[in-house]
Amino acid sequence: MDLDRPARFVAPDLLGAVLTVDGVGIRVTEVEAYEGEADPASHAWRGMTPRNAVMFGKAGRLYVYLSYGIHSCVNIVCDVEGRASAVLLRAGEVVAGEEAVRVRRGRVPYARLASGPGNLGSALGLTATDSGLALDGVRATVVAGPAGHIMSGPRVGISRAADTPWRFWLVGEPSVSGYPRSARA
């Protein structure tokens, strides 16, 4: 998997890949691409800040941020150093360490364990203090995997550039959120 490309190209390739953090494995089923200066919806739109600095760094690290004061959302940083670019992991299927996930997520249906960016972050047990974590095999890894039928559409939950079709998901996967229900193709 070549992460040294802009997020919009890496995003669809990440579908079907398995991200493992501290023994919990998640098969990615839904992602969104965010790119620096050219993308008004990106955190890096107005340049580097202490929070988004990791987005400007080299590929293969995790960018984790606190959303709405409650949820931790997880991105995989891509593109070459100096170009802010990241893929938000919106949903996945838990394929390893389900017991550890249930401690944090409780008694919810299997398909919902990591459905939605906040839930996925919770399932992995990541918080903003983990931002910058390298996918180097120490605590975390990504391994590419087979993807089925891929579809794309507008990103969810943003107010700017809401028409850019940089959301990608696997058709037929129960964990895909698409929250809130609107664009059904």
Partner DNA sequence: CTTTTGATCGTCT
Partner DNA sequence: GACGATCAAAAGC
Site for DNA in 50-79 (CB under 7 A): 50-52, 55, 63, 65-71, 73, 75
CA quadruple 170, 173, 175, 177: dihedral sign: positive
Q: Is 42 in the site for DNA (CB under 7 A)?
A: yes
CA angle 2, 8, 11 (to 5 degrees): 60
Q: Which residues pair with 21 in a beta bridge?
A: 24, 140
Q: Which amino acid is at 178?
A: G
Q: Applying CB under 7 A, does 128 fall inside the site for DNA?
A: yes
Segment near DNA (CB under 7 A); pick from 11-19, 138-146, 152-160, 167-175: 152-160
158 forms part of the interface with DNA (CB under 7 A): yes
Neighbour-count burial of 98, counting CB atoms closer than 10 A to its CB (0-12 exposed, 13-18 middle, 19+ buried): middle
Any contact of residue 164 with DNA (CB under 7 A)?
A: no
Residues contributing to the site for DNA (CB under 7 A): 32, 34, 41-44, 46, 49-52, 55, 63, 65-71, 73, 75, 86, 88, 108, 112, 115-120, 128, 155-159, 177, 179-181
